[in-house]
Amino acid sequence: MTKKNERTKETEELKQRIEDLENKYKRALADYQNLEKRAKEERSAWIKTANKELILQLLPVLDTLILADQHVPNEGLQLSIQQFISALKTEGVEKVETIGKQFDPITMECIETLSGEEGKVLEEVRFGYKLYDLVLRPAQVKVGKGE
């Protein structure tokens, strides 16, 4: 074998080695990026779950304030309720919209049927709430039965 052939063979081997190392580097980088993404998603899910437990404990307090406001209207109480709702919104909590909507068994719980348009929510007994896309508590509603 001539020196030129040896060099060509050695060059080809080195090129192949470089290509293999580049591929390994790219796979390692992709694996690392996937790991970072997965860790971020898990952290976010953990935070949402932690918030869920606290919010579930606070919702009955909000219900009591709203009920008190219905019986004894008071500006200070209404302001407190609005601040409470605003704080919940900041954390990703939204009220489930029900009145006039079609009954949705995922976000609503029917506690009574009344005369009215079939399947439509006629009255809301207790508010329901969602944390992002997760239903924290379904709304308790009265639904029309079509009579």
The per-residue pLDDT for range 28-86, each reduced to its tens digit, is 999 999 999 999 999 888 877 778 888 999 999 999 999 999 999 899 999 999 999 99
Between residues 8 and 1, the one the model is more confident about: 8
The per-residue pLDDT for range 9-36, each reduced to its tens digit, is 889 999 999 999 999 999 999 999 999 9
Q: Looking at the structure, tell me whether residues 86 and 98 fall in a common domain.
A: no
Q: Looking at the structure, tell me whether residues 135 and 84 fall in a common domain.
A: no
pTM above threshold 0.75? no
Count the alpha carbons within 13 Å of 60 in the hemisphere toward its beta carbon.
4
Q: How confident is the model at residue 146 (pLDDT cuts 50, 70, 90)?
A: confident
* pLDDT of 1: 60
* pLDDT of 32: 93
**What CATH number does the domain containing 139 carry?**
2.30.22.10
Q: Looking at the structure, tell me whether residues 134 and 84 fall in a common domain.
A: no
Tell me the residue range of the domain where 56 lies.
1-91
Give the full edge-to-edge strand order of the sheet including 108-114: 108-114, 139-144, 121-126
Name every residue whose Cβ is closer than 8 Å to that of residue 51 and which is 6 or more positions away in sequence.
91, 92, 131
